Amino acid sequence: MTIRTNCLVLCLATLLLVSAPWSVAVPSSGSALARGQSFPILTQDQIATFRPYTLFASAAYCNPSITGTWTCGANCDANPGFQPTASGGNDGTVQYWYVGYDPTLDKVIVAHQGTDSDNLTADLTDVEITMDPLDPTLFPGLSSTVHVHTGFRDAHARTATTILSEVQTALSQHSTQEVVITGHSLGAALSLLDAIYLSLHLPSNIKISTIGYGLPRVGDAAFANYVDAHVDLTHITNKHDPFPILPFQFLGFRQPSNEVHIDQNNNWVQCPGQENDSTECIDGAVPFFWEGTPGDHEGPYDGIVMGLGQC
Ligand SMILES: *[C@@H]1O[C@H](CO)[C@@H](O)[C@H](O)[C@H]1NC(C)=O
Ligand SMILES: *[C@@H]1O[C@H](CO)[C@@H](O)[C@H](O)[C@H]1NC(C)=O
Residue 278 has pLDDT above 90, yes or no: yes
Tell me what the mean pLDDT of segment 138-165 comes to. 96
Residue 29 has pLDDT above 50, yes or no: no
Given this model, what pLDDT does residue 123 score? 74
Ligand 1 pocket, residue 154 CB under 6 Å:
no
Residue 233 has pLDDT above 50, yes or no: yes
Closest ligand 2 atom to the C-alpha of 274? 14
Closest ligand 1 atom to the C-alpha of 122? 14
Ligand 2 pocket by Cβ (under 6 Å)? 272-273, 275-278
Given this model, what pLDDT does residue 124 score? 80
Cα of 19 vs centre of ligand 2, distance in Å, is 21
- What 23-26 contacts at long range (C-beta under 8 Å, 24+ apart), as own/partner pairs, is 23/287, 23/288, 26/277, 26/283, 26/284, 26/287
What is the secondary structure of 2-57 as a DSSP string?
------HHHHHHHHHHHHHHHHHHHHHHHHHHHHH----B--HHHHHHHHHHHHHH
Which among 278, 279, 280, 282 is the best mutation to test ligand 2's pocket, defined by most ligand atoms within 8 Å of the CB?
Answer: 278
Instruction: Give the residue, by CA position, lying nearest to ligand 2 atom 13.
Output: 276
Ligand 1 pocket, residue 124 CB under 6 Å:
no
Lowest pLDDT segment from 14-23, 140-149, 223-232:
14-23
Better pLDDT: 13 or 39:
39
Cα of 273 vs centre of ligand 2, distance in Å, is 6
Q: What are phi and psi of 258, to 5 degrees?
A: 70, 40
Residue 224 has pLDDT above 50, yes or no: yes
Given this model, what pLDDT does residue 92 score? 79
Tell me what the mean pLDDT of segment 93-122 comes to. 91
Better pLDDT: 13 or 149:
149
Cα of 184 vs centre of ligand 1, distance in Å, is 17
176-214 pLDDT, tens digit per residue, is 999 999 999 999 999 999 999 999 999 999 999 999 999
CATH 3.40.50.1820 fits 7-19+37-310, yes or no: yes
Tell me what the mean pLDDT of segment 224-247 comes to. 97
Ligand 1 pocket, residue 121 CB under 6 Å:
no
Given this model, what pLDDT does residue 10 score? 33
Residue 3 has pLDDT above 50, yes or no: no
Ligand 1 pocket, residue 35 CB under 6 Å:
no
The overall average pLDDT reported for the chain is 88
Given this model, what pLDDT does residue 18 score? 35
The percent of residues in the chain predicted with pLDDT above 90, rounded, is 80
Residues recorded for the chain: 311
- Which ligand has its closest atom nearest to the C-alpha of 6? 1
| pLDDT bucket at 308, cuts 50 / 70 / 90 | confident
The residues spanned by each domain of the chain are: 7-19+37-310
- Which ligand has its closest atom nearest to the C-alpha of 284? 2
Closest ligand 2 atom to the C-alpha of 273? 14
The percent of residues in the chain predicted with pLDDT above 70, rounded, is 88
- Which ligand has its closest atom nearest to the C-alpha of 280? 2
Better pLDDT: 126 or 215:
215
Ligand 1 pocket, residue 6 CB under 6 Å:
no
Cα of 96 vs centre of ligand 2, distance in Å, is 37
| pLDDT bucket at 9, cuts 50 / 70 / 90 | very low
Given this model, what pLDDT does residue 305 score? 96
Residue 295 has pLDDT above 60, yes or no: yes
Alpha-carbon distance values, 94 to 89, 97, 160, 263 (Å): 5, 9, 11, 33
Instruction: Give the residue, by CA position, lying nearest to ligand 2 atom 2.
Output: 272
154-174 pLDDT, tens digit per residue, is 999 999 999 999 999 999 999
